[in-house]
Structure 1
Amino acid sequence: MTATGKAIKYNYKALHKPKALIYGQGQTAVITGWTVKGAIAKHLHPQEYAVIGQLYSPTRGINLLIRNLLYNPHVRYLVVLNATREDKNAGAGICLLDFFRNGFEEGLSDTGRRCWVIRSLYVGYIDIEVDASALQKLRQSIEFQEAKSIAEACNLVKSFAEKVASKPWGLPLEFPISIVVPTALPGSRYAHRIEGKTIAETWVKIIHLIKTTGTIRPSAYEGQWQELIDVMAVVTSEPENFYFPEPNYLPINRDFLQEYISQTLDDAPNQEGVKYTYGQRLRSWFGRDQIQQVIDKLVIDIDSARAVMSLWDVSNDANDSPPCLNHIWVRIVDNELSMTATLRSNDMFSAWPANAMGLRALQQHIRDEICKISTHSLKMGPLITISQSAHIYDDCWENAEKVIQSQYTKICQQRDYADPAGSFVISVQDGKILVEQMTPGSGEVVNCFLGKSAKQLYQQIAASCQGLQIEHAMYLGTELQKAEFALSMEQELSYEQDKSIKKLKCEG
């Protein structure tokens, strides 16, 4: 208000993510963290605030938020809500407050780019292109407060609104911003299968595939993403205490994981501004504990194909911020408990590792509870996730490229020749090439292929063994071509699998 009691209306203009914000005419910016921004907006009048927005990540959001504040110097107050476990776990609000409390210094981002690094326990960056003097002026010109609840945040906003209006601290400032230009090679858009022993290994393979062949499209939250449809990721051997590489290149650490697992396994009370947690959807949302139902079902009938959990609420999820995780299916075959989860939309760079570890923890919990209350002795089978929209947001493309460059080649060098289709023994006999397919482990011959040309044989094998691993198939093609060449000159050359073609010794 002015000194005469008349309200001044300001116009907040966002340069970045404009559709993600709620706009008012006041001088206070409200940052809600993971709490739904509408939960605060409904308690306020638009004249009491300038803008309300959510901040999920310090590394992905603060840079654009600061740029927007620099362009709107009429904003003189800041209220940051840290009310939920998700807020504390992400640390975005704390990092933003630390920018105003502690300042920043020049350093390097996690991709090695020069930037301003916020002095905080939580990692946050601002582009080096933003002038340091402008950042210092912003810090000096905005009064900030932290709120621990929606009620406290609303009271702070109202108290700021009652003050006499302050003049803008300067002119709107806009600074250059670098744009990462993606590339994409030809490839199938639909239905991909990726397998790895650990979640970390599988994750690197996933982001390599998306960054290599994913379609570049507008995202649901402004900007772009690179996307593949229906990515099936199979994790075969994740250890029970979870594997974190050293140095850790995953976007999460053990401290974050422990809190995230709790959100997946445990029920949670209804809380204003928090739509749901996965644990809440599984434990109580539909008036029953689906996790316990699955355990009880499998104890009674270990072969049941009805051990299903659903997180999709048909009464409102079609219209109102539905959960990404929709469906979980648990199956026991030969005393091995596997889990399959379907996610309608999946941020594969930032979210999938936590999604997968949370699901793996749920898988372990179900296995352990079944063994505890029954005579069954079960081992852990694979975790399978099916991500129907598997995507990487444009603000993570640079980070994804760095992980690919540093890790993908190393992972590919760790070859595993244990193809579920078995092994193949190739020999040349009686003027033909014989290929025997053998079961994994036991080595029992289960199929034979006979022909005179590599093409004839690889077509037979491809038709019979559609799930053959790519590297295994390429190896077979190489060996079959060697066998065909040796057969064409059988008077002079001999073929032996995995060895160089040899000349026959001349007698006499």
Structure 2
Amino acid sequence: MTHTGQTTQFRYTAQHKPNQLIYGNGQTAVITGWTVKQAITKHLQPSDYAVIGQLYSPTRGINLLIRNLLLNPHVRYLVILNATKEDKNAGASQCLLDFFHNGVEESLSDTGRKSWKILSAIPGYIEIDIDINSLGKLRHSIEVQEAKSITQAVNLVKKYSQREIIEPWGFPLEFPMSTVEPTVLPGSRYGHRIEGKTIAETWVKIIHRIKTTGTIRPTGYDGKWQELIDMIAVITDEPADFYFPEPNYLPIHRSFLEQYISQILDDSPNREGVKYTYGQRLRSWFGRDQIEQVVNKLVGEIDAASAVMTLWDVKDHDQGGSPCLNHIWLRIVDNELSLTATLRSNDMFAAWPANAMGLRALQKHIRDEIAKRSEYDLKMGPLITLSQSAHIYDDTWSNAEQLIQEQYVAICRNIDYYDPTGNFLIEIADGQIVVTHTTPGSGEIVGCYYGKNALKLVREICAASPAIRPDHAAYLGLELQKAADCIKLDKSYIQDK
């Protein structure tokens, strides 16, 4: 705290996410939710506020925000903007309001750890190592107001700035956080393919892959993430009404899905503080309705390979805030409509399931529109996402570990052994191993391999069929070694026996 003439200037100190905040020297903190910080800042002077920051998630953001407030007892007013659809979907602003209005109780967090649970219909947690008396003191020392619009938020901040300076409510309180660096196994950084029947199944496999071999590196926003580059996810059989596991372990609930899908399918007007929605970029941003364009393209040319939609604007390089979803491509093969989406940067833990469900809804919308306007009754093909930077932020590492422990083993138990590479029939003839490669389903012979050395045969098969599933290749190695042993011992060999 410094004194300049008759004016007292406070200095806000952020221990967590310091580079994501805008600092002033007043006594009011402003939380903008999903509205960009600059939409508030441009209407204010630094002397009007102490700090301005965004809050996206109740389970990831509130704990850090509370820690920062405890470190800055000169903050005596808090304005929480709760204005957009995104705010309502995320629930973070409402959960923060509920913390100040209702308090907390001791419970278990979403990772199973003992925590303070905010008394709210929206899950939100504060780590148990923060003293409960300090939380109570904070709640009762700050005047909190909800704002439903940018104008209302600005007016509240200006009103508070006209009040007499209040002494800090106490001394700065710091509660250290423990961090655990994950163990990373060796593996390829580039190019990963993961397939599942549903978005939920595929998501668990994605999280496991990143947590196992992902590179740990600093983000551009404070903190770290674990990342793999160019991850392809293929979802083959997501039901029309979407599959939600019970109990639901996905970071999205069915009640919010309709609103999220609307952000992809529907146009929206320009709103102050909201950079764009995906629907706006697809429907009107470039002066064309790109969804209509691809429907008409495929109706007129069912085999077209140019049904493309783009969300990247070359101005994004200069303006910042560029969309994570950049490119969508649709293709019809064998009466089946597939959709491929490219995302340059993808939060695989918190965002990918919603991204995938929204894209699947777009895929179904295009399929249905083609059916209305033509004689084509297309089947829903796979949804493919290419996440160029597939990452998990460090504040969800513990959640990711818990998800893997609780769900990954169960998913692996329910393996579908179908391999599009085909089947391999093994027998012994004339003193050597004979492997016949057949197509899946029809059983057409497409290759034969001969020899006595099991390892050499496996290598030949994998070289000729590089897309073979890893577990299928391992199975072949075991069976071929059994066949080789039978030749040495002069015993009969029967596959799988």
TM over 0.5: yes
Give the corresponding residue for 1:364. 364
Give the corresponding residue for 1:498. 496
Distance 1:115 1:410 in 2: 27
TM-score normalized by structure 1?
A: 0.96
Give the corresponding residue for 1:188. 188
Aligned-pair distance for 1:419?
A: 0.4
Distance 1:441 1:453 in 2: 29
Distance 2:190 2:314 in 1: 26
Give the corresponding residue for 1:505. none
Structure 1 runs of 4+ with >6 Å offset: none
CA-to-aligned-CA distance 1:404-444 (integer Å, 9 cap, x gap): 00110000011111100111111111122111111111111
Aligned-pair distance for 1:177?
A: 1.4
Distance 2:423 2:168 in 1: 73
SS at match of 1:204: helix
What amino acid maps onto 2:496 in structure 1? Answer: D
Taking the TM superposition and a 5 Å limit, the aligned residue runs for 1:459-498 are 459-490=459-490, 493-498=491-496
Give the corresponding residue for 2:50. 50
CA-to-aligned-CA distance 1:19-61 (integer Å, 9 cap, x gap): 0000001100000000000110001000000000000001000
Give the corresponding residue for 1:379. 379
SS at match of 2:293: helix
Taking the TM superposition and a 5 Å limit, the aligned residue runs for 1:20-35 are 20-35=20-35
Q: What value does the CA root-mean-square deviation take over the aligned residues?
A: 1.2
Give the corresponding residue for 1:139. 139
What amino acid maps onto 2:32 in structure 1? Answer: T
Q: Does 172-181 or 418-427 show the bigger shift?
A: 172-181
Matched residue count: 494
**Aligned: 1:75 with 2:79:** no
SS at match of 2:61: helix
SS at match of 2:428: strand
Give ranges in structure 2 of 5+ residues lacking alignment: none
Distance 2:295 2:288 in 1: 13
CA-to-aligned-CA distance 1:353-407 (integer Å, 9 cap, x gap): 0011111111111111111111011101111111111111111000000010011
Q: Does 94-103 or 429-438 show the bigger shift?
A: 429-438
TM-score normalized by structure 2?
A: 0.98
Sequence identity percentage: 69
Q: Does 455-464 or 388-397 show the bigger shift?
A: 455-464
Aligned-pair distance for 1:7?
A: 3.1
Aligned-pair distance for 1:327?
A: 0.5
What amino acid maps onto 1:494 in structure 2? Answer: S
Distance 2:31 2:459 in 1: 60
SS at match of 1:482: helix
Taking the TM superposition and a 5 Å limit, the aligned residue runs for 1:230-245 are 230-245=230-245
**Aligned: 1:246 with 2:246:** yes
Give the corresponding residue for 2:171. 171
Give the corresponding residue for 1:453. 453
What amino acid maps onto 2:192 in structure 1? Answer: H
Give the corresponding residue for 1:279. 279
Taking the TM superposition and a 5 Å limit, the aligned residue runs for 1:433-452 are 433-452=433-452
Aligned-pair distance for 1:208?
A: 0.4
Q: Alpha carbons of 1:158 and 1:5: their partners in 2 closer, same or farther (altered >3 Å)? A: farther
SS at match of 1:446: strand
Give the corresponding residue for 2:118. 118
Distance 1:46 1:412 in 2: 55
Taking the TM superposition and a 5 Å limit, the aligned residue runs for 1:3-42 are 6-42=6-42
Give the corresponding residue for 1:94. 94
Taking the TM superposition and a 5 Å limit, the aligned residue runs for 1:341-356 are 341-356=341-356
SS at match of 2:487: helix
Aligned-pair distance for 1:488?
A: 2.4
Aligned-pair distance for 1:319?
A: 4.7
Distance 1:434 1:296 in 2: 52
Distance 2:188 2:5 in 1: 64
What amino acid maps onto 1:484 in structure 2? Answer: A
SS at match of 2:180: coil
